[in-house]
Amino acid sequence: MLTILWLKGLFAYRSGRLLGAIVGVALTVALLASIGVFIASSSATMTRRAAADVPVDWQVQLSPGVDASGIANAIGKSTAYTALEQVGYASTAGFSANAGGTLQTTGPGKVVGLSPNYRQHFPTELRLLIGSLDGVLVAQQTASNLHVTIGDTVTIQRVGLPPVKVIVGGVVDLPNADSLFQAVGVPAGASPQAPPDNVLILPDTQWRQVFDPQIAVRPDSVRMQFHVRITRNLPADPNTAFVYVQQMANNLEARVAGSALVGNNLAARLDSVRKDSLYALVLFLFLGIPGAILAMLLTMAVAASGVERRRQEQALLRTRGAATSQLLRLAALEAMIVGVGGVALGIAIASIAAGTITSVGLFASITSIIWTANASLVGLILAVVAVLYPAWLQARNSTVMAARAVVGRGRKPIWQRVYLDVILLVVSAIIFWRTASTGYQVVLAPEGVPQTSVAYETFLAPLCLWVGVALLAMRLCGGGLEHGRRVLASMLRPIAKKLSGIVSASLGRQYVRLARGIVLVALAFSFATSTAVFNTTYNAQARVDAVLTNGADVTVTGSTAFAPGSMLSQLKALPGATVVQPMQHRFAYVGNDLQDMYGIDPARISDVTSMSNAFFANGDAQATLAALAMRPDGVLVSQETATNYQLAVGDQINLRLLSASDHQYHAVKFHFLGVVREFPTAPKDSFLVANASYIAQQTGSSAAEIVLIHTTANPADLAIQVRNVVSALAGARVTDIGTTQKIIGSSLTSVDLRGLTSLELTFAILLLAGATGLILALGLAERRRTFALLAALGAKRNQLGAFLWSEGAVIQISGGIIGIALGFGIAQMLVTILTGVFDPPPEVLAIPWVYLVVMTLAAIASMVAAVLSTQIASRRPVVEALRDL
Amino acid sequence: MDEMLVHMENGERTYSRGKTPVAAVVSATCTIMPGDRIALMGPSGSGKSTLLHLIGGLDSLTSGRLTWPALGARETLRPAKVGLVFQMPSLLAPLTVVENVEIPLLLGSGSADKARAAALDALERTGLRSIADKLPEELSGGQAQRVAVARALASHPRLLLADEPTGQLDSATARHLFDVLLESLRGTDTALVVATHDKVVAERLNTVWHMQHGILEVAA
């Protein structure tokens, strides 16, 4: 009977506090469950995207003389597959062709034999530029070297046999030449082998006719491979998928016992994504956990706001004969309502969030189910800790606590006496220094090794900073409010006028409660700020990464023969094309190594694309480009080249460039100016950057193979117009930054992270509004007696408002300033610790002004709502208010 | 003749308790003149507090007429013209004794400095100067009620309403509090209305009003 009465009372008279606690638990559960869903979702996306990028899953290389059908059978037993193609690779002494009355020759090359179905099964290996895929195909660079096109004859210099003539049917680009011509069986971590400079592709029947005789005389010059597309039912987690694919390949190698080696492209790709996956996990935890902790603190604060009333209720029940066990049963009932209600609401919110932002449902994977179950458990524990535990403490120690309230007045809490705040800040600084100064890797996923590790201890740096600043703020705010009443009074004079002294005295003596409120608001501000700043910085860097890959907002890539630079005036005329600039993309020999070479106008390149300081070893893009502009024959080279050739700034280098007049490579003098690490559209490994005008002068061709376009309009729309303009150029490819950003190599820029951060930013606003509004409202509600008395003594509405607005302002302004500063500190720390996420690393934090304004407005609106609702409540007839006391 | 401070004619106050109307004050007629010392007696629930709240402008009549000829409009009564002492502990916990006493003065038109001086003077008059800087939680029940009296007197009100001010005190402390109250009003024309059960208290005042079931009997 008592239980039912209590329940009725709880819903009728304590519904605000009950609902506040339920919402707090719900936010905690929803955040934790959402993190789980996003982790599962992002892992699955990364695995799927990584696998989709792989042109050929396995390249199984047969040992000379081995029966191919036996290997094919073994492959079928080791894995289910959707495509299996036999491919021949033959080495040649070179190719030659007669073009324009001159004989063009090349160095050693490869001739690949492909079946007619190959392109259907492995569509991304070949990209037709001109002609037809049915006949003999010549690689773009080889066509350029031999100066041949469709219908021309190329002579293949076979090894140990007379040459053979073939007629070119088409020119192709080999986008995945690195993997197509990889050395199968080299140990993991070995330097990658450059693909051959000259490549010819024959239909497999013709290849057999040409090279079967060569197999007979020089079996070492010919290799046979099976290209395999395995059935893609991979585990969702990249690391698990990597181990799974690796084990299948091991199984095959065991079956064939040395007769074949597996080039496991799929495992290699998954291997490279594992680190991204772990970084994503770390990122989710770094960004999400503080929100969950904040939601827990909010729940506990909401529950604690009723502590005085609960004490009175307990006392009343005791006087009517209620035993401690009965009191605890009633508190347990309240905890159960808060826990079960909060968990149910939290799961509902997480489910909506999961359905809205990702395609993965809340219960779609084991990972997310485990996270949801754990989140629910945390929610139930939180309800017990927030509601039942304090009630138990009160019921058990009421006399002691009552005594302590007087005797312990003014005594500092233990954390203040042992300077826990200072200790935590020092620990944070030490861990951060250790992480930042030593290039410490938070995530380790050694290439080819199944085991991975995450240095979770680095979490301690931001966590200690967070808690340390919170405690320090509590100490300083408490001290400031207690001892700085005069200063506070003068600050409050605009609001409280002549009541400012009384108001500041009142606030000063409630310093513990107020300091807690300030710290809670500060933590909410810091969570929102750090999440927003990190997210904005991350997105800005993702864009820089995309610019780096794509070159500019819109990029046209062609060839020397069909150079998009020739259509510059038409491209400049397009509406929306703000800046249009040509860029040469040639090839140059550095010693025997053929490298990509980019010819730019250093004075204007930064008008069209981002030139980050991180691109250059000296960390100064402006100075490097100015030096290049000053020195026409200057060249920037990669770190690897500078080290291998022991180059010092000012050294002369002879590079061999293809001349437009005789189609031969000739030495051209350059002077080494510095090291370039990354450059728009350039590959990750070695490349060169020089003045376009000098390259044009030395090669006799000013053709610009790339055109970069900057736009203030939608890049995707502009790209459509650009495609129309360059449609006449054979093989010209138009890409825009948005599309590139979606398919960019690093999976961290996937939509999942954006989804989570959007959710977190929404949660951050909710928590901020909750922290400012709810705490203030509940705190003020608990002090209805004070306001009723003031009203009875004759306080007018504006005078009551002075107390309310002053308290709101003190909590809001102090919490806001501390929180925003802490948020930037945390964001800077996260960016530094998680440097591995960024490519290239950001130079400064990006500031999300709009979000910060929205966040502040939300907090102010919440505070205003809390104060106004209290003011409205205080408008009740004074007698009625006094009767309730 | 002095102008009337309060005049009530056929005053009625009815509350709704669910669907049942409850008459707290029934057809009350009374007048309070400057210098009056009135004891309002009656059992619990007889309507004493409601009558005081009506006279003090905290509540309004359901029907009848209530005016304050010498005090002005209802909205201007508190904090300067009418002082209130409650039965329950009524000090604001985060404020010291002197700050509690100066609150009504600050809520009025006086400056902060004058308010502090007047508060200290009120404490002096009530013998509480020595505890001016103490917090309410450091006071005994009797001290807290004396501070409440000092607060009500600080603005030199024309009318002081005390709702069972000694109700929660032992008899000795109650007597002492009442001594302080009467002593402070000696020589002033401040009217005093005290709601009380205590006959000893009532005997020390000039006039006794009785209330029973909301009906006021005013002595001739």
pLDDT higher for A364 or A253? A253
Examine the pLDDT at A357 and tell me if it is beyond 70: no
CA of A793 to nearest chain B CA: how many angstroms apart?
Answer: 6
> What is the pLDDT confidence band of residue A729, given thresholds at 50, 70 and 90?
confident
SS (H, E, C) A854-881: HHHHHHHHHHHHHHHHHHHHCCCCHHHH
Contact at CB, B92 and A878, closer than 8 angstroms: no
- Phi and psi for A776 in degrees, rounded to 5? -65, -50
* Per-residue confidence (pLDDT) for residue A188, from 0 to 100: 58
- For A208, the token pair is 């057999």
Examine the pLDDT at A189 and tell me if it is beyond 70: no
Q: Is A401 left (phi over 0), alpha (psi -120 to 50) or beta?
A: alpha
Residues 6+ apart with CB under 8 A from B28: B8, B10, B11, B12, B51, B64, B214, B215, B216
Query: Among residues A285, A410, A387, which one has the least CA distance to residue A340?
Result: A387
CA A174 to chain centre: 30
Tell me which of B103, B151, B160, B161 to substitute to probe the interface with A (most A C-beta atoms closer than 10 Å): B103
User: Largest Cα–Cα distance of chain B, in whole Å?
Assistant: 52
Query: What whole-number distance in Å separates Cα of residue B219 and Cα of residue A442?
Result: 90
Q: What is the DSSP string of A338-369?
A: HHHHHHHHHHHHHHHHHHHH-SS-TTSSHHHH
Instruction: Taking residues A296-305, report their average pLDDT.
Output: 83
Going from N- to C-terminal start, the domains of chain A cover 1-54+273-400, 55-272, 559-731
* Per-residue confidence (pLDDT) for residue A364, from 0 to 100: 75
pLDDT tens sequence across A421-455: 999 999 999 988 888 777 666 766 666 666 667 77
Q: Of A182-191, A271-280, A313-322, A709-718, which range is least confident?
A: A182-191
Q: Of A524-533, A735-744, B186-195, which range is least confident?
A: A735-744
* Per-residue confidence (pLDDT) for residue A746, from 0 to 100: 45
Nearest C-alpha in A relative to B53: A879
* Per-residue confidence (pLDDT) for residue A406, from 0 to 100: 36
Instruction: Taking residues A653-672, report their average pLDDT.
Output: 88
Nearest C-alpha in B relative to A508: B94
Residues of A in Cβ contact (< 8 Å) with B50: 879
Residue type, A111: V
Residue type, A688: L
pLDDT higher for A419 or A413? A419
CA dist list (Å): A592 to A586, A665, B11: 16, 12, 112
CB of A184 closer than 8 Å to CB of A144: no
Residue type, A639: Q
pLDDT tens sequence across B19-60: 788 889 999 999 999 999 999 999 988 999 999 999 999 888
Residues of A in Cβ contact (< 8 Å) with B103: 502, 790, 793
Q: Is A509 on the interface with B (CB under 8 A)?
A: yes
Query: Among residues A359, A89, A509, A757, which one has the least CA distance to residue B99?
Result: A509
pLDDT tens sequence across A476-504: 999 999 888 889 999 999 988 888 888 99
CA of A866 to nearest chain B CA: how many angstroms apart?
Answer: 21
Examine the pLDDT at A108 and tell me if it is beyond 70: yes
Contact at CB, B79 and A789, closer than 8 angstroms: no
CA of B176 to nearest chain A CA: how many angstroms apart?
Answer: 24
* Per-residue confidence (pLDDT) for residue A34, from 0 to 100: 85
Instruction: Using DSSP, state whether A546 is helix, strand or coil.
Output: helix
SS (H, E, C) A236-291: CCHHHHHHHHHHHHHHHHHHHCCCEEEEEHHHHHHHHHHHHHHHHHHHHHHHHHHH
* Per-residue confidence (pLDDT) for residue B1, from 0 to 100: 46
Instruction: Using DSSP, state whether B38 is helix, strand or coil.
Output: strand
Query: What whole-number distance in Å separates Cα of residue A796 and Cα of residue B103?
Result: 12
CA of B76 to nearest chain A CA: how many angstroms apart?
Answer: 9
Contact at CB, B104 and A792, closer than 8 angstroms: no
- For A277, the token pair is 């996956």
Query: What whole-number distance in Å separates Cα of residue B189 and Cα of residue B31?
Result: 15
Q: What is the DSSP letter of B167?
A: T
pLDDT tens sequence across A528-574: 899 889 888 887 877 777 788 888 899 998 888 788 988 889 999 99
CA dihedral A428, A432, A433, A436 (to 10 degrees): -170
Q: Tell me how many helices (H) and strands (E) chain A has.
A: 32, 22
Residue type, A685: D
Contact at CB, A879 and B58, closer than 8 angstroms: yes
> What is the pLDDT confidence band of residue A49, given thresholds at 50, 70 and 90?
confident
Query: Among residues A344, A352, A353, which one has the least CA distance to residue A383?
Result: A344
Examine the pLDDT at A840 and tell me if it is beyond 70: no
* Per-residue confidence (pLDDT) for residue A407, from 0 to 100: 35
pLDDT tens sequence across B174-188: 888 888 889 888 888
Rg, chain B, Cα only: 17
Query: What whole-number distance in Å separates Cα of residue B28 and Cα of residue A658?
Result: 115
**CB count in 10 Å sphere of residue B137:** 12
CA dist list (Å): B17 to A247, A403, B4, B21, B24: 80, 40, 34, 6, 11
Q: What proportion of chain A, given as a percentage, has pLDDT over 70?
A: 91
All domains in chain B, ordered by first residue: 35-58+73-205 (3.40.50.300)
User: Residue B79, preceding bond cis, omega within 30 degrees?
Assistant: yes
Name beta bridge partners: B207.
Answer: B38
Instruction: Using DSSP, state whether A511 is helix, strand or coil.
Output: helix
Examine the pLDDT at A815 and tell me if it is beyond 60: yes
pLDDT tens sequence across B113-124: 889 999 999 999
* Per-residue confidence (pLDDT) for residue A751, from 0 to 100: 44
Nearest C-alpha in A relative to B109: A498
* Per-residue confidence (pLDDT) for residue A745, from 0 to 100: 46
Chain B residues bordering chain A (beta-carbon distance below 8 Å): 50, 53, 58-59, 77-80, 84, 86, 88, 90, 92-96, 99, 102-104, 106-108, 111-112, 135, 137, 151
- How many residues can be counted in chain A? 885
CA of A863 to nearest chain B CA: how many angstroms apart?
Answer: 22
**Strands (DSSP E) found in A350-472:** 443-444, 453-454
Examine the pLDDT at B99 and tell me if it is beyond 60: yes
Nearest C-alpha in A relative to B92: A786
CB of A39 closer than 8 Å to CB of A327: no
Instruction: Using DSSP, state whether A312 is helix, strand or coil.
Output: helix
Query: What whole-number distance in Å separates Cα of residue B165 and Cα of residue B145?
Result: 7
Residues 6+ apart with CB under 8 A from A853: none
Tell me which of A879, A883, A884, A885 to substitute to probe the interface with B (most B C-beta atoms closer than 10 Å): A879
- Phi and psi for A660 in degrees, rounded to 5? -75, -25
- For B36, the token pair is 């009056």
Nearest C-alpha in A relative to B135: A509
Contact at CB, B59 and A509, closer than 8 angstroms: no
> What is the pLDDT confidence band of residue A750, given thresholds at 50, 70 and 90?
very low
Give burial (CB, 10 Å; 0-12/13-18/19+) of A120: exposed
Q: Which of B79, B96, B99 sits opposite A794 (nearest CB)?
A: B79
3-state DSSP helix/strand/coil percent for chain B, to nearest 5? Answer: 35, 25, 40
CB of A727 closer than 8 Å to CB of A635: no
> What is the pLDDT confidence band of residue B210, given thresholds at 50, 70 and 90?
very high
Query: What whole-number distance in Å separates Cα of residue A813 and Cα of residue A819?
Result: 10
pLDDT tens sequence across A850-862: 889 988 998 899 8
Strand A577-590 with A706-711, pairing? antiparallel
List the end-to-end C-alpha distance of chain A, in Å, as a whole number.
Answer: 26
CB of A688 closer than 8 Å to CB of A598: yes
* Per-residue confidence (pLDDT) for residue A1, from 0 to 100: 67
pLDDT higher for A320 or A199? A199
CA dist list (Å): A595 to A557, A585, A668: 17, 10, 14
CA of A879 to nearest chain B CA: how many angstroms apart?
Answer: 6
Instruction: Taking residues A762-791, report their average pLDDT.
Output: 77
Examine the pLDDT at A673 and tell me if it is beyond 90: yes
Examine the pLDDT at A684 and tell me if it is beyond 80: no
CA dist list (Å): A399 to A311, A316, A403, B137, B166: 11, 15, 6, 16, 27
Contact at CB, A505 and B104, closer than 8 angstroms: no
Residues of A in Cβ contact (< 8 Å) with B94: 505-507, 509-510
Nearest C-alpha in A relative to B138: A406
* Per-residue confidence (pLDDT) for residue B176, from 0 to 100: 84
Q: What is the DSSP string of A559-627?
A: -STT-GGGGHHHHHTSTTEEEEEEEEEEEEEETTEEEEEEEE-TTTHHHHS---GGGBTTS-HHHHHHH
- For A659, the token pair is 């001349």
Residues 6+ apart with CB under 8 A from A457: A431
Examine the pLDDT at A44 and tell me if it is beyond 90: no
Residues of B in Cβ contact (< 8 Å) with A506: 92, 94-95
* Per-residue confidence (pLDDT) for residue A770, from 0 to 100: 79
* Per-residue confidence (pLDDT) for residue A197, from 0 to 100: 81
Contact at CB, A506 and B96, closer than 8 angstroms: no
CB of A74 closer than 8 Å to CB of A277: no
Contact at CB, A793 and B79, closer than 8 angstroms: yes
CB of A153 closer than 8 Å to CB of A194: no
* Per-residue confidence (pLDDT) for residue A405, from 0 to 100: 43
Strand A58-62 with A222-230, pairing? antiparallel
Query: What whole-number distance in Å separates Cα of residue A486 and Cα of residue B138?
Result: 23
- For A607, the token pair is 């008008």
Query: What whole-number distance in Å separates Cα of residue B41 and Cα of residue B44?
Result: 9
Query: Among residues A565, A842, A814, A593, which one has the least CA distance to residue A707?
Result: A565
* Per-residue confidence (pLDDT) for residue A339, from 0 to 100: 94
> What strands lie across the sheet with B37-41, from one edge to the other?
B63-67, B6-17, B20-32, B215-218, B207-212, B37-41, B191-196, B159-163, B82-85
Nearest C-alpha in A relative to B137: A406
Nearest C-alpha in B relative to A509: B94
Q: Looking at chain A from residue 860 to 879, which residues have their Cβ under 8 Å from any Cβ of chain B?
A: 877-879
Q: Is A802 on the interface with B (CB under 8 A)?
A: no
**CB count in 10 Å sphere of residue A597:** 23
> What is the pLDDT confidence band of residue A692, given thresholds at 50, 70 and 90?
very high
Query: What whole-number distance in Å separates Cα of residue B101 and Cα of residue B93?
Result: 12
* Per-residue confidence (pLDDT) for residue A661, from 0 to 100: 81
Residues of B in Cβ contact (< 8 Å) with A792: 58, 78, 84, 86, 90
Q: What is the average pLDDT score of chain A?
A: 84
* Per-residue confidence (pLDDT) for residue A641, from 0 to 100: 85
CA of A865 to nearest chain B CA: how many angstroms apart?
Answer: 25
The ipTM, to two decimals, is 0.89
Tell me which of B17, B55, B106, B151 to substitute to probe the interface with A (most A C-beta atoms closer than 10 Å): B106
pLDDT tens sequence across A628-649: 999 999 999 998 888 888 888 8
* Per-residue confidence (pLDDT) for residue A401, from 0 to 100: 43
pLDDT tens sequence across B136-173: 989 988 889 889 989 998 888 999 999 988 877 788 88
Q: Is A642 on the interface with B (CB under 8 A)?
A: no
